[in-house]
Amino acid sequence: MSIAIWAVLAIPGLAYWVYYLRGLPRPALPTEKSATFGSGDMVAAILLGLLFAWNIFAGTQKPPTITRDMIIQSCVIYSLFVVMLLSMLIVRNRNPVLLFGLKWPAWKSELPLAALALVALYPLLSVIQSGVLAVVGEKDATQDILLFLIRTNTVEDKLLLSLMAVVFSPISEEIIFRGFLYGVARQYGGRWAAMTVTAALFAAIHIHFPSMPSLFAFAVGLTLIYERTRSLWAPIIVHMLFNATTVAYVLIAKPQL
């Protein structure tokens, strides 16, 4: 589909986002201490951000080779980050359920609106990615991990990567980026600055320059969905849907890459 058609489709998509964000709650600090981040969390967030920045720099110097062992290793490392962050919060009498809005009583009414927000965002992401394709070409615009998914000859590798993309990555990345890093940055730096910085870090950590503009826009969308629903379940589920769609698309439509 041409960039012009995607641009036309992006207009009603953006109109829906204007409507969707009319219900965006005003920023407010929680009244319960267990639902707030502390100075220790700020230090941890800075150190984690610096660690990610170093990994990004190292990855740009020598891009990692995608293998089954590398995928498993990444899952283990992200699991350790999640366990470490949750343990740190619990030990310091912070409640992850309150911090991340894991009780979501209004999910029946809010989840369909969040899913529709993802659909409405697709044309804009496609406009961005089509612009990148026009500059670098389709092969270079596709992330290495997706190329691995297409080219691997084993069902086990395809299942492993699909499971990582559809289940593991959305849960771990949303806890780390939207839940913790954005939550800390928002409390100490404000909503919009926190959203910009954490979305840029999320895009850069994938270490694939052609994908960074669309990943940044996607991260902003996830953050706004999180703000709109006040529950981390919403961006987790939307992230799962997005990755599942991407995996299905590259397997069905891009076998020649």
For the segment 215-227, what is each residue's pLDDT rounded down to a tens digit? 999 999 999 999 9
CA-based nearest residue to 63, from 119, 143, 156 = 143
Torsion of CA 34, 40, 46, 51, to 10 degrees: -100
Residue with tokens 């928002």: 186
Q: What is the C-alpha end-to-end distance of the chain, expressed in Å?
A: 18
Compute the radius of gyration of the chain from its Cα atoms. 18
Of the ranges 12-16, 131-135, 154-158, the best mean pLDDT one: 12-16
For the segment 44-83, what is each residue's pLDDT rounded down to a tens digit? 999 999 999 999 999 888 877 888 899 999 999 999 999 9
pLDDT of 135 reads 80
pLDDT of 227 reads 95
Cα separation values, 5 from 1, 116, 123, 215, Å: 7, 19, 9, 21
Amino acid making up residue 23: G
